[in-house]
Structure 1
Amino acid sequence: MTTPYSTTTLPAPARFLLLGDSHAGCVGRAARQAQLPFVGGPVGSGRDFLGPFLGADDGDGNGDGRDGGDGDGDGDLVFRDAAVGRLVREFLEQLGVSGFAGLGVPLVCTFGLSAHTVATRQNWDVHRDRHGAVPERFLHSRMFADLVRASVRGALAFYGRTAALGLRVLAPMPPQRVPGMSDPAVFFAAQDVIGNELGARGVELIDLRARVTDGTGHQRPVFCQPDDTIHGNLAFGRLVVAQLLDAGL
């Protein structure tokens, strides 16, 4: 887990709220370097925000999240994990609001985009063919999409609730890095399913794949954090921030 941080003593008002897992770290570092005022940072690990992580009243029980599951769409967001909830409340207070319903700046968020976790090899062994590969026809099937949606149902519920609250949400696609524990074919197919689901909930995707990958679809070393196997580096974060600015933040 990356230590949370936020910019709180800047002369200009915050331009956005940043929430996410460790993939949000390079975005925050790049924004600070660019002196772009924001509040927030990483609040947990990637797998913390795949399964249900909202409180029982926030509609994560049906796995869909398009209407929040609670029927009225006007409740605020409450996190089940007390430590995460405390951090988020502190960030919101720094923005002068008591809850997401009053948020007046865009939300930049990486919840649910840890595709390498969804693509953990052993989770897909039952679907492999006699050559040990997950067949392309399965990766493009409705069953595969259903399994991916179930794997990230908590994040989908979260984005369904942000849509119900009328928030502007932008989500950077993950670095195109596939660790040894993950299946590359599943990684690439799963992130497409997740991206489509977020788009259906009104989330604006920050998609840098065409700019940061090589001919195999993997992230080029110049945009990789050299001391691990999953994260983007500061150069990658700068590209995300530049695209956020292009989007009007």
Structure 2
Amino acid sequence: MTPYSTTTTPARFLLLGDSHAGPIGRAAKAAGIPFQGGPIGAGREFNAEFFDVREGDVVFRKAAADGHYRGFLAELGAAGLGDAGVPLVCTFGFSAHFLATTENWRIYRVRGGGFAPGFLTSGLFDAIVRATVRDALAFYGHARALGLRVLAVMPPQRVPGLSDPAVFGAAQESVRGALAELGVEIVDLRPRVTDEQGRQRPEFCENDDTIHGNLAFGRLILAELLARGL
């Protein structure tokens, strides 16, 4: 997704994220809701070692990501993240399908292929997930320390074949809990978009795709953001 221009209308929020931010941006653009931002990279790039702190700002280590980000700030008339002047909507750290890659959890399985009772709700599991997304959490924490209102959007409930559904669900809960501790608002549409098994309903899934939500999903997220005053 390319950066969006808000022309002369003040932006309501800054959107930063991976590809899961795409439907949000498309929904806002279609509805004429002014904002700045969009996806600046792939989900796996925003878990660890992806940014450096600068006074009142951040610098993304990948030049392409930082270039998009600087463009968004310029459109907002901001020198840095702390000067954005609008809430931050973000999807970093919620690439749960990546966290749930089945092979990564093989060493924690017991005989028979499952996990020991209570493992997915244990302190060990939570610590592993938090360590995996440590710099995503640090990014949110830095944004909060700069005084920004921050809203994190939970991912579509879609589990591709290489990921473990149980780990997917547990991992996103660990990320959610860590963000709540930082004072980040969580946008969670699961009760509205999932079936009896907790999976994303087809009408909210991108066609010919195993991971992403579609424009209808983005519209629900946008409606929730607007309902929260953005």
**TM-score above 0.5, yes or no:** yes
1:154-197 Cα offsets, whole Å, 9 max, x none, are 10110110111010111111000000010000000000000111
Q: Does 1:4 align with 2:2?
A: yes
Matched with 2:184 is 203
Give the deviation of 1:51 after TM superposition.
1.1
Give the deviation of 1:134 after TM superposition.
2.7
Matched with 1:101 is 82
Query: TM-score scaled by structure 1?
Result: 0.89
Q: 2:152·2:187 contact (CA, 8 Å) conserved in 1?
A: yes
1:208-245 Cα offsets, whole Å, 9 max, x none, are 00000001111011100011100000110000000000
Cα distance between partner residues in 2 of 1:207 and 1:129: 32
Q: 2:100·2:171 contact (CA, 8 Å) conserved in 1?
A: yes
Matched with 1:24 is 21
Cα distance between partner residues in 2 of 1:237 and 1:129: 39
Cα distance between partner residues in 2 of 1:205 and 1:139: 21
Letter in 1 for 2:12: R
Cα distance between partner residues in 2 of 1:112 and 1:17: 17
Matched with 1:231 is 212
More strand by share: 2
Q: 1:134·1:186 contact (CA, 8 Å) conserved in 2?
A: no
**Partner-residue secondary structure (3-state), 2:77:** coil
Counterpart pick for 2:109 among 110, 114, 128: 128
Q: Does 1:53 align with 2:57?
A: no
Query: TM-score scaled by structure 2?
Result: 0.97
Give the deviation of 1:43 after TM superposition.
0.2
Matched with 2:34 is 37
For structure 2, the 5+ residue unaligned runs are none
Cα root mean square deviation, aligned: 1.2
Q: 1:7·1:32 contact (CA, 8 Å) conserved in 2?
A: no
Matched with 1:175 is 156
Cα distance between partner residues in 2 of 1:78 and 1:218: 36
| Fraction of identical pairs, as percent | 60
Distance 1:136 1:8, change over 3 A: farther
Give the deviation of 1:128 after TM superposition.
1.2
Q: Does 1:215 align with 2:196?
A: yes
How many residues align structurally? 230
Q: 1:124·1:134 contact (CA, 8 Å) conserved in 2?
A: no
Matched with 1:140 is 121
Letter in 2 for 1:192: E
**Partner-residue secondary structure (3-state), 1:33:** helix
Q: 2:97·2:159 contact (CA, 8 Å) conserved in 1?
A: yes
**Partner-residue secondary structure (3-state), 2:57:** coil
Give the deviation of 1:103 after TM superposition.
1.3
Matched with 1:64 is none
1:137-168 Cα offsets, whole Å, 9 max, x none, are 11011000000001101101101101110101
Q: Does 1:165 align with 2:146?
A: yes
Q: Which runs of structure 1 show a deviation greater than 6 angstroms over 4 or more consecutive aligned residues?
A: none
Matched with 2:67 is 86
Q: 1:7·1:39 contact (CA, 8 Å) conserved in 2?
A: yes
Letter in 2 for 1:30: A
